[in-house]
Amino acid sequence: MAETVWDAYLDQVLQNDGVDTESLQDQLVAAKRVFRKDKSKVSIHDVSKEGAITEFNVVSEADLLKAEQARPSTGIRIISIHSDRTIAPLWITPGVASEILRSYAVRSDFVPVLLSFADEPHPSEASNSNFVYASPSDDESVVSYNLNFVEQNQHGGTNPWSFRHTGIYHHRKGDFNLFIVIHCTKETAFFRRMTALLSPPVIKKTTATPSSSQAPPAPGPGTAAGPLLQQICKHPEKLHSLLISCYSNNWRPYLRSLGKKFADPNDRAMVDDADAVKQASFPAVQALRNTNDFALFANACCSNNLDILDRLSRIPFPSAESTFRQRTESQALTLRGHIASCKVLQDRISNTIELVGYTLTLHNQIETGKLDKEIRDMTRKLQELSQKSVDDSTVVRLITILSAVYLPGSFVGGIFGMNFFVFDTDHRKIVIAHDFWIFVLVWLGLSALTALAFVFTWWRKKKQKDATEEDAAREKLS
């Protein structure tokens, strides 16, 4: 297999974790949409126990090397990676990313979290936090996870809410705590909160590190961290609590917004009769199913948050205060309430969809009944017209037969000029001519000829029809 920028890190993973790295390498190489090609914009902040802050801006691997040379042995180092938008690549190149993973011996469990960015939280992974906790020794532990959350956006579209996620990697070794934080966008509340915490009025910025013969630069005056950051330095687990607190309160207004979306079609479904629902039944079902999908996704994300809180509360952080566990338990209780609310909302939406479907079925039955009545009325009228046509045909047939009988006589009478009957004025009576038999003979002959012609024509047509049916029967048998 061709060499890649990930080889050094993958060799380290194979040696330390004993994990098969072939599939991991395929995923890293294929994830081109996650990383930038040209340059990085990674921020590294070191916070000492005294509260001094030092910042490194990493654009290339050379900048990362300088920051590595100044790595402290105590305190906190926070590596922040972000993207411009949720679906945009992270501001980090594969070279810088692989070097960070290698330099800090990041566990391979964090790689799926890293590769989940440059995209929105996937519905199939909404409830999966990828939570990992490992403690090789008493003075060392690793925690990593992916937090899915909902947050109001600034896009100004029809939907003011967006689903987003944040990745956390926390490696504690002795008195040194490393945090790798991946922000899906700079619009998130946690990104803004961390920016405010790590950017006091005066901050010491470093782009290079002194040589090994020189001591690291001392923080200048006015670089002290704020009270909250100082608390995080003493109790690093509070950073996890801070992250979750930035978004846990968003679920209540979001679920209320879903409830408002559900209320309108639900009210219409409750008051509409079978005739009124026909105009908006399909759009209403579409809107309800869309709302149900959002509630289902919110349920999964709340389960993701609850899983993280439950696991964090069971980790024996050395510096953890009782308030940390109390806070996580309180947040977990709130999330369980949100999960129950999601379930109730999903059930109500399902009931309303069933009601709309039942009303639509009833409407279809009513319309089918109306159509059936119209068809029966039309069939009855057609039967009446058909009967009239039959009656008219019978009359026409009778007239035709009578015409066939009397028409030859009229024809013969016209030929002979009606001279077979003479009115005797002396005796005042009609006198029949002696040659009257000629008229009768010609009349009857022509009538018989007409009848024979009709019978011959009918017989010929019947014979042709019988022959056609016999040919068709033979073809079927053959």
Residue-level pLDDT at 204: 47
Q: Which residue has the higher pLDDT, 263 or 306?
A: 306
Q: For the ranges 89-103, 107-121, 201-215, 380-394, which has the lowest average pLDDT?
A: 201-215
Residue-level pLDDT at 210: 41
- 124-163 pLDDT, tens digit per residue, is 888 999 999 999 888 899 999 999 999 998 776 678 899 9
Residue-level pLDDT at 133: 94
Query: What whole-number distance in Å separates Cα of residue 50 and Cα of residue 75?
Result: 9
Q: Strand pairing of 140-152 and 161-173?
A: antiparallel
Residue-level pLDDT at 272: 61
Residue-level pLDDT at 216: 42
- What one-letter code names the amino acid at 312? L
Q: For the ranges 121-135, 199-213, 279-293, 442-456, which has the lowest average pLDDT?
A: 199-213
Token code pair at residue 187? 């619009």
Query: What whole-number distance in Å separates Cα of residue 97 and Cα of residue 92?
Result: 6
Mean pLDDT along residues 259-286: 70
- 413-460 pLDDT, tens digit per residue, is 676 665 666 667 777 777 777 777 777 787 788 888 888 888 888 898
Residue-level pLDDT at 19: 76
Residue-level pLDDT at 230: 84
Residue-level pLDDT at 221: 38
The alpha carbon dihedral of 191, 194, 195, 196 has a sign of: positive
Contact assessment for residue 79 and residue 182, using Cβ atoms and an 8 Å cutoff = no
Rounded to the nearest 5°, which phi and psi values hold at 182? -110, 115
Query: What whole-number distance in Å separates Cα of residue 185 and Cα of residue 346?
Result: 30
Query: What whole-number distance in Å separates Cα of residue 79 and Cα of residue 182?
Result: 8
Query: What whole-number distance in Å separates Cα of residue 199 and Cα of residue 469?
Result: 99
Query: What whole-number distance in Å separates Cα of residue 119 and Cα of residue 206?
Result: 32
Residue-level pLDDT at 273: 61
Distances 231 to 141, 167, 171, 393 between C-alpha atoms, Å = 20, 22, 18, 107
- Percentage of the chain lying above the pLDDT 70 cut: 87
Rounded to the nearest 5°, which phi and psi values hold at 62? -65, -40
Give the residue among 313, 319, 315, 317 at the shortest CA–CA distance from 333. 313
DSSP of 325-342, one letter per residue?
A: HHHHHHHHHHHHHHHHHH
- Flag whether the pTM goes above 0.85: no
Residue-level pLDDT at 91: 96
Query: What whole-number distance in Å separates Cα of residue 145 and Cα of residue 93?
Result: 22
Mean pLDDT along residues 185-198: 91
Contact assessment for residue 233 and residue 49, using Cβ atoms and an 8 Å cutoff = yes
* CA torsion, ordered 368, 373, 376, 381, to nearest 10 deg: -140
Q: Give the confidence band of 343 by pLDDT, cuts at 50, 70, 90.
A: very high
Residue-level pLDDT at 218: 40
Token code pair at residue 7? 């080889």
If you average pLDDT over every residue of the chain, what do you get?
84
Statement: residue 178 has pLDDT above 80: yes
Contact assessment for residue 55 and residue 200, using Cβ atoms and an 8 Å cutoff = no
Q: Give the confidence band of 21 by pLDDT, cuts at 50, 70, 90.
A: confident
Q: In DSSP terms, which residues pair with 431 in a beta bridge?
A: 422
| H/E element, 177 | strand 176-183
Q: Give the confidence band of 40 by pLDDT, cuts at 50, 70, 90.
A: very high
Statement: residue 252 has pLDDT above 90: yes
Q: Which residue has the higher pLDDT, 223 or 55?
A: 55
Statement: residue 2 has pLDDT above 60: no
Residue-level pLDDT at 418: 58
